[in-house]
Amino acid sequence: MRLNSEIKEVVYQYGLQVRNNDEAWNFMWKRYLEENDLYDKKDILFAMTTIANTTLLESLMKKAANESEVRKHEYLDLMNSIAENPKGFVLVTRLIYSNWTHLVKNYGANQASFFANNVRAFYRKNSKSTDSARDRTQTIDEINNNIHWMNKHRTYVQKWFQGNVYMPWRSMRLPDFIQPNRYNITLQPDIVTTTFTGEETIDFNVTRATDYIIIHEKELNITKTEVRDVGGKKIAVAEVISYKRNDFLVIRFEDKAPPGSYVLQLEFSGRFSSDGKGVARYKYFDRATRETRFVLATQFEATFARKVFPCFDEPAMKAKFQLTIIHDSHQNALSNMPEMEKEPLENGLTKTVFLESTTMSTYLLFFAVSDFEYIEAYYKEKLTYEILLLTFLHRRFEFSLPDRLPEAQHGLNLTLNLLKSFEEYFDVPYSLPKLDSVIIENYTVPAMEHWGIISYNTKRFLVDENYSTYKRMIEVDRVIAHEIVHQWFGNLVTMKWWNDLWLSEGLATLIMYIPLKQYYTEIDGVDVRKISRVMCVDSNTDSHPVVRNVTTPNEIANAFDAISYEKGSAVLKMLQHTLKDDFRKGLSNYLKKYAFKNAGN
Q: What is the pLDDT of residues 257-273, one digit of tens each?
A: 999 999 999 999 999 99
Arithmetic mean of pLDDT, 493-508: 94
Q: Which residues pair with 200 in a beta bridge?
A: 185, 266
User: Radius of gyration of the chain from Cα atoms?
Assistant: 32
pLDDT at 159 over 70: no
Q: How far apart are CA 322 and CA 409, in angstroms?
A: 31
Does the reported pTM lie above 0.85? no
Q: Are strands 332-335 and 195-206 parallel, antiparallel or unpaired?
A: unpaired
The confidence score (pLDDT) of residue 569 equals: 85
486: helix, strand or coil: coil
Average pLDDT, the chain: 83
* CA distances, 77 to each of 40, 52, 154, 206, 278 (Å): 16, 18, 18, 38, 47
Give percent above pLDDT 70 in the chain. Answer: 81
Residue 315 above 70 pLDDT? yes
Whether the per-residue pLDDT at 392 is higher than 60: the answer is no
The b/e string for 204-236 (b: 16+ C-beta within 10 A; e otherwise) is bebeeebebbbbbbbebebeebebeeeeeeebe
Within 8 A by CB and 6+ apart from 466, the residues are none
Residue 66 has pLDDT above 80, yes or no: no
pLDDT tens string 130-148: 556 666 677 667 767 776 7
- Cβ distance 521 to 561 under 8 Å? no
Comparing 233 with 85, the larger pLDDT belongs to 233
Give Cα 6 to chain centroid, integer Å: 54
Backbone angles phi, psi at 8, to 5 degrees: -55, -50
More confident residue, 148 or 226: 226
Please tell me the predicted confidence (pLDDT) of residue 373: 83
Lowest-confidence pick of 15-24, 100-109, 584-593: 100-109
**Confidence band for 383, pLDDT divided at 50, 70 and 90:** very low
CA–CA gap between residue 506 and residue 598 (Å, rounded): 17
Task: Specify the range with the lowest mean pLDDT, choosing from 21-25, 384-388, 487-491.
Answer: 384-388
- The pLDDT of residue 382 is above 50: no
Q: How far apart are CA 304 and CA 480, in angstroms?
A: 23
Strands (E) located in 237-336: 237-243, 248-257, 260-271, 278-286, 291-299, 320-328, 332-335
347 vs 146: CA distance, rounded Å? 69
| Residue 541, pLDDT score | 74
Region of 247 on the Ramachandran plot (φ > 0 left; ψ -120 to 50 alpha; else beta): left
Tell me which residue of 373, 360, 374, 358 sits closest to 311, measured CA to CA: 360
What are the b/e assignments for 45-73, b being 16+ CB within 10 Å? Answer: bbbbbbbebbebbbbbbebbeeeeebeee
Question: Which letter, b or e, does each residue of 96-133 get, where b requires 16 or more Cβ atoms within 10 Å of its Cβ?
Answer: beeebeebeeebbbebbeeebeeeeeebeeeeeeeeee
Q: Assess whether pLDDT exceeds 90 at residue 365.
A: yes
Among 356, 483, 522, 566, the active-site one is: 483
Handedness of CA 283, 285, 290, 293 (dihedral sign): negative
Residue 96 has pLDDT above 80, yes or no: no
Looking at 35-170, list the stretches that DSSP marks H as alpha helix, in order from N- to C-terminal side.
Answer: 38-47, 54-64, 75-83, 89-98, 100-107, 109-125, 133-164
- What is the SS3 assignment for 19-59? HCCHHHHHHHHHHHHHCCCHHHHHHHHHHHHHCCCHHHHHH
Q: Tell me how many degrees the CA angle 56-59-61 measures, rounded to the nearest 5.
A: 115
Across 504-522, average pLDDT = 90
Measured distance CA(548)–CA(501) in Å, rounded:
9
Q: Which residue has the higher pLDDT, 240 or 148?
A: 240
* Distance (Å, whole) CA 556 – CA 498: 6
Q: Does the annotation flag 153 for ligand binding?
A: no
483 is annotated as an active-site residue: yes
Between 336 and 289, the more confident residue is 336
pLDDT, residue 385, reads: 30
As a whole number of angstroms, the distance between CA 315 and CA 598 comes to 8
Q: How far apart (Å, rounded) are the C-alpha atoms in residues 460 and 446? A: 6
Neighbouring C-beta atoms of residue 78, cutoff 10 Å: 21
On the question of pLDDT at 529 being above 60, the answer is: yes
Do the annotations mark residue 505 as ligand-binding?
A: yes
pLDDT tens digits for 39-59?
Answer: 777 777 788 788 788 888 888
pLDDT of residue 393: 33
* pLDDT of res. 29: 81
- Is the per-residue pLDDT at 549 higher than 80? yes
- Lateral strand order in the sheet of 395-400: 373-378, 395-400, 434-440, 453-457, 447-448
CA angle, 307 as apex, 91 and 447 as ends, to 5°? 150
Does 297 sit behind a cis peptide bond, omega within 30 degrees of 0 on the bond before it?
no
Assign 18 a pLDDT band (cuts: 50, 70, 90): confident
d(CA 353, CA 355) in angstroms, rounded, equals 7
Distance of CA 490 to the CA centre of its chain: 19
pLDDT at 24 over 90: no
User: Is 486 labelled a binding residue?
Assistant: yes
Q: Distance (Å, rounded) from C-alpha 457 to C-alpha 450?
A: 14
